[in-house]
């Protein structure tokens, strides 16, 4: 899978993607990435930003250099096999389901905005999806693009060493993840739950499911409301809250 980041600050992208899981995925040729800087399309001494029509605070990225950067990016792939994403607080909320869907794309181009954003005509003409990673404003689109990139690439076959771990992470199946523990078994902060030490896989799975249901109900009721619980799951959820009161 191929990624292109259109950014005024490409070093933010390069420094993040040349580490850890991403670096190994690149070395295995599972993914590739490239950065394109709109500043490279400016005339000598030309500014990259300009005033907003109608007045108001802040500046917008100039349209001409951004358009040339996008055109160069799209020329590298078949446009019908490419998706252009603009990171914006006005975009649709990014979810695990969106990440899984985007993982099936062949080529993704991220437009990382700066200042007050970009000209609406560029969004209307080029952008396939506007995505927001949360209800807050950041200084630029680089960090949101990296968040979306990371969530997508984890769902590409071979990127993670153990694909089964994807199935047990938060939001897989609509629930938050269960608590996890490692050695030592006993420490001053507490002991590992006895169910995890039982060696009985059925007991362990039931405990984990109970924790997932309870934690989701406690922290993200909106997620639980989207799921039709079975009688067994309802009983586990009731048991979770009963144990809290003990």
Q: What is the pLDDT of residues 192-211, one digit of tens each?
A: 999 999 999 999 999 999 99
101-119: average pLDDT: 95
Decide if 209 contacts 233 (C-beta within 8 A).
yes
Give me the chain's average pLDDT, please. 92
pLDDT at 153: 96
Please state, for a pLDDT cut of 90, what percent of the chain lies above it: 85
54-75: average pLDDT: 93
Tell me: the pLDDT tens digits for 151-193? Answer: 999 999 999 865 555 555 556 678 999 999 999 999 999 999 9
Distance of CA 100 to the CA centre of its chain: 10
143-156: average pLDDT: 96
pLDDT at 116: 87
Q: How far apart are CA 113 and CA 95, in angstroms?
A: 21
pLDDT at 85 over 70: yes
Tell me: the pLDDT tens digits for 8-33? Answer: 999 999 999 988 899 999 999 999 99
pLDDT at 110: 98
Cβ-defined contacts of 229-238 (< 8 Å, 24+): 233/209, 236/206, 236/209, 236/210, 237/210, 237/213
Query: 84 forms bridges with which residues in the sheet?
Result: 109
Global pTM?
Answer: 0.85
Domains of the chain: 2-153 (3.40.1280.10), 168-245 (1.10.1270.20)
Tokens representing residue 157 in the block = 């076959």
């Amino acid at each position: 899978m191929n990624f292109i980041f259109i950014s005024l600050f490409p070093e933010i992208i390069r420094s993040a993607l040349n580490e850890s899981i991403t670096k190994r995925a690149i070395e295995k040729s599972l993914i590739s990435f490239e950065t394109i800087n709109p500043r490279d399309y400016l005339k000598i001494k030309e500014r990259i930003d300009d005033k907003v029509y109608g007045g108001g605070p802040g500046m917008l990225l100039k349209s001409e250099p951004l358009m040339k950067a996008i055109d160069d990016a799209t020329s590298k792939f078949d446009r019908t096999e490419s998706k252009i994403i603009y990171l914006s607080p006005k975009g649709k909320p990014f979810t695990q389901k969106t990440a899984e869907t985007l993982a099936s794309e062949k080529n993704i181009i991220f437009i990382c905005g700066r200042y007050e954003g970009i000209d609406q005509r560029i969004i209307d003409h080029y952008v396939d999806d506007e995505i927001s990673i949360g209800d807050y404003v950041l200084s630029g689109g680089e960090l949101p693009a990296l968040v979306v990139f990371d969530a997508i690439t984890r769902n590409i076959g071979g990127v993670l060493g153990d694909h089964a771990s994807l199935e047990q992470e938060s939001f897989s199946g609509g629930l938050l993840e269960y608590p996890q523990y490692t050695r030592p078994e006993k420490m001053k902060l507490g002991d590992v739950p006895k169910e995890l030490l039982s060696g009985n896989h059925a007991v362990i799975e039931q405990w984990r499911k109970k924790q997932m249901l309870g934690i989701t109900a406690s922290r993200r009721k909106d997620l639980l409301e989207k799921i039709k619980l079975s009688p067994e799951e309802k009983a586990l959820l009731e048991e979770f809250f009963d144990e809290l009161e003990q």
